[in-house]
Structure 1
Amino acid sequence: MTVQNYGDETGDDTEVATFGAGCFWCVEAIYQRVNGVIAVESGYAGGHVQNPTYEQVVRGNTGHAEVARVTYNPEEISFEELLEVFWHTHDPTTLNRQGNDVGPQYRSAIFFHNDDQKMIAENSLKKTDKSDLWDDSIVTEITPLSNYSVAEDYHQNYFNNNPNAGYCSVVIAPKIAKFKKDFPHLLQEAN
């Protein structure tokens, strides 16, 4: 497993964002369809156990959130646009919960990689919270990326590999359909 620490980036022409928005399968599937996104990796962030397993994280006592690590080309999509997708494709007003997924591992979180991301995320949260997008207040945490590790192989590219699985067809497919409807201008041509 690789470890990504706060401040590390992948290369000169790419940047990384890390989002927790419930089950990482949902987050991964959405961002894989965003124009300018180069790669999406499911993982765990923010906990106190080094290199946790899914079985440990799903119990909700490691402190980790299920996250998607998004590598993107900032010349094609901005961090602000990635945040707009984030706010619209999950419910950031429910504490430690997304639908039937309950526990701190499913919390709404932005794990920033640098001070610019922190500032942009904080401003975006304030702006979104003042908008009429959500009736309730946003409870998304904004914290530096810490203790990141890659999820097991079977979690990677989950929706694309298992489109007919129950969770995929009932939970993820409708989220993808909503994303396509709300963000046609950000949709990759192949999706």
Structure 2
Amino acid sequence: MEQLRNDLSANPPLPGSFNATRGALCVLKFTDGLWYRAKVERIEGKKAHVLYMDYGNKQVVPLSSLSALPAGYRNQPPQAQEYFLACIIPPDDEDWLKDAFALFCQEVMGKTLLLNAEYRITGQSYVSLLNSEDKTDITRKMIAEGLARVDKRKDRRLSKLVGEYCSAKGEARKNRVGMWVYGDSTSDMATEFGFKK
């Protein structure tokens, strides 16, 4: 990043010279005023949805803020990798989803984690995450707090993991926490009260 910024300071890109297309690699200045590599995910009118390749965050920016990525930086792999939590189904309810996200952030931000790749589906990696200090499984904790459900995958290799997660779900239901506060949220509930089938 330091070298990229030095190169762009010595030879700044011409404003408006970049023709943004979906999937194009580019550079742009973030709110901190520094240059970052990005990938255009989609374009809507005069705005671009970009993914910062080396950090993983996303932003909607004006097309005019995008510049061409210098050739020497195109082949360097992104430093941020996208992963999905294995054997978990996020809550349908928006409030529970916000709570799940808050708990996830609390458990991972600023902490060293152990990542284990569990399986892949259509090129996407599904992982389990453990706190490196106390070996707490982040997904299990979310399920035990009633903030996620278990994706009961049939792969024999995942049976132990799915079993642990089902046990956590049982704890959440017994303790009536999170989405289980009113009992079994997966049974038939009245749609007139806003429940989805």
TM-score normalised by L of structure 2: 0.21
Between structures 1 and 2, the one with greater helix share? 1
Structure label with greater radius of gyration: 2
Using CA pairs under 8 Å that are at least 6 residues apart, name the structure with larger relative contact order, 1 or 2.
1
Between structures 1 and 2, the one with greater strand share? 2
